[in-house]
Structure 1
Amino acid sequence: MGIPEGERAPEEQQIGPVLRRRGQVQPTTTDQRLLDVKGDSDWVHTDPWRVMRIQSEFVEGFGALAELPSAISVFGSARTRPGSPEYDAGVRLGRALAEAGFAVITGGGPGAMEAANKGARESKGISVGLGIELPFEQGLNPHVDIGVNFRYFFVRKTMFVKYAQGFVVLPGGFGTLDELFEALTLVQTRKVTRFPIVLFGTEYWGGLVDWLRTTVVGQGKASQHDLLLFHVTDDVEEAVSLVSKEVAR
């Protein structure tokens, strides 16, 4: 659909902020070109379009989480089985954090994440899940009250840090370790204001802590002071107390 038959093209055309005259007048409107033309779809896989999608994920995440109260991000394995001691500890931790006035943010998946969300929900707290698009992801667990799904890990990580005042890390695998060391690096390099990082489970984390002390610090790859960036505990009340004290500062 262009200029109707028998009618002359206008001498002047305003398209948004652009003025066109004489031979530069276009025969169709912007809406017509958008709605009528079925063009090549390869543009949806280009980097400029990906930048727009990344930007939209930041906007959606900021909009969804901006009004959260003080929050704690809880990390842990998606493979933690319901009814196991680790799962029960996650439920107790989520419950205690909610009772202390914190929103609880997790990766939104099953296992330890579900446990923490469940505990927060049972205590009438705010239960948040930040999901990620994965080939084997099962979706957000049913105990999430506010859920946001992300395509990009780095956008999701930003949300974990930006809207939390501390981290509690339950036993977990590579993803949990990634989130833990991301947090430690940000605190160590002072990219974020210091906030508490609590490792829950002395038996599980003990080997890692020993390796950091004897090998990483022992060989001068980190300083002795860096070992003060985190706490290790088996006690739910102590974990909540540690994050509460740091947040109060």
Structure 2
Amino acid sequence: MMEMIKGFRALHFIGPCVTVFGSARFKEDHPYYELTRKAGAAFAHLGFTILTGGGPGLMEAANRGAKEAGGRSVGCNIQLPVEQNPNPYLDKWIYLKHFFVRKILLVKYSFAFVVMPGGYGTLDEFFEALTLIQTHTIKNFPIIIFGKQYHQELIAHIERMKANATIGANDPHLFLVTDSIEEAVALIVEKSIKQYGLRPENKVKPFKWLLERK
């Protein structure tokens, strides 16, 4: 409980976010790293804070892209024996011991979820967000999966679940699978910015937002 309260206090003013999930194991010279870096910059240009797990690999790439674009970069860093040190492109980060607290924080401030190639943790975070949207626990925010080839078996398995009626017929439409940053940006503009009346509070500081309530 104290860790959750600490997280809420630390992240209360970070503004609307695009949360990026992805592997800690891809290095700077990998094409997925460069894709994630460019995507982080593109979403930051829209005015969003880029929120990640705060570690290396594709988390670092997303934070780096945001930082280089002049946006805000935030991480929820989990304490692990290996791999998980805060990357150097964070404006703000918090240390957490519990994965469930981390997932709550990664969801709470996000108006879109971006799933890059990753492992168990990335898929855990993806299905957490997907389940919350499917069950109407949170609003129908965009979920965007990058890497058509990497995720082709995963998408095939989701279609198998649909065929066996273990998910609803429309549930595969809750996410977009693409390799196009432009397509992802267009979806976020339509389903996040326009849908929820988000406007930059100050054009000089694009990561500060005012949420207009209708």
Q: Same fold per TM (> 0.5)?
A: yes
Pairwise CA distance, 1:216: 0.6
1:183-213 deviation digits (Å, cap 9, x = unpaired): 1110011111111100011111122112211
Letter of the structure 1 residue corresponding to residue 129 of structure 2: A
Structure 1 segments unaligned to the other structure (5+ residues): 1-54
Distance 1:243 1:92 in 2: 15
Q: For CA contacts below 8 A with separation 6 or more, give which structure has more relative contact order.
A: 2
Distance 2:125 2:189 in 1: 21
Pairwise CA distance, 1:69: 2.1
Counterpart in the other structure of 2:150? 204
SS of 1:130's partner is strand
The equivalent position to 1:221 in structure 2, one of 166, 180, 202, is: 166
RMSD: 1.0
Identity %: 46
The equivalent position to 1:74 in structure 2, one of 20, 31, 48, is: 20
SS of 2:25's partner is coil
Counterpart in the other structure of 1:114? 60
1:28-78 deviation digits (Å, cap 9, x = unpaired): xxxxxxxxxxxxxxxxxxxxxxxxxxx221111111111122210000000
Letter of the structure 1 residue corresponding to residue 174 of structure 2: L
1:101-122 deviation digits (Å, cap 9, x = unpaired): 1100000011000000000000
Distance 1:174 1:140 in 2: 20
Number of equivalences:
194
Distance 2:71 2:2 in 1: 28
Distance 2:128 2:11 in 1: 20
SS of 1:165's partner is strand
The equivalent position to 1:103 in structure 2, one of 49, 69, 76, is: 49
Pairwise CA distance, 1:138: 3.5
Counterpart in the other structure of 2:40? 94
Moved beyond 2 Å, runs of 4+: none
Distance 2:176 2:139 in 1: 17
Letter of the structure 2 residue corresponding to residue 64 of structure 1: A
SS of 2:71's partner is coil
Distance 1:72 1:139 in 2: 21
Letter of the structure 2 residue corresponding to residue 219 of structure 1: N
Distance 2:14 2:188 in 1: 17
Counterpart in the other structure of 2:119? 173
Distance 1:222 1:138 in 2: 34
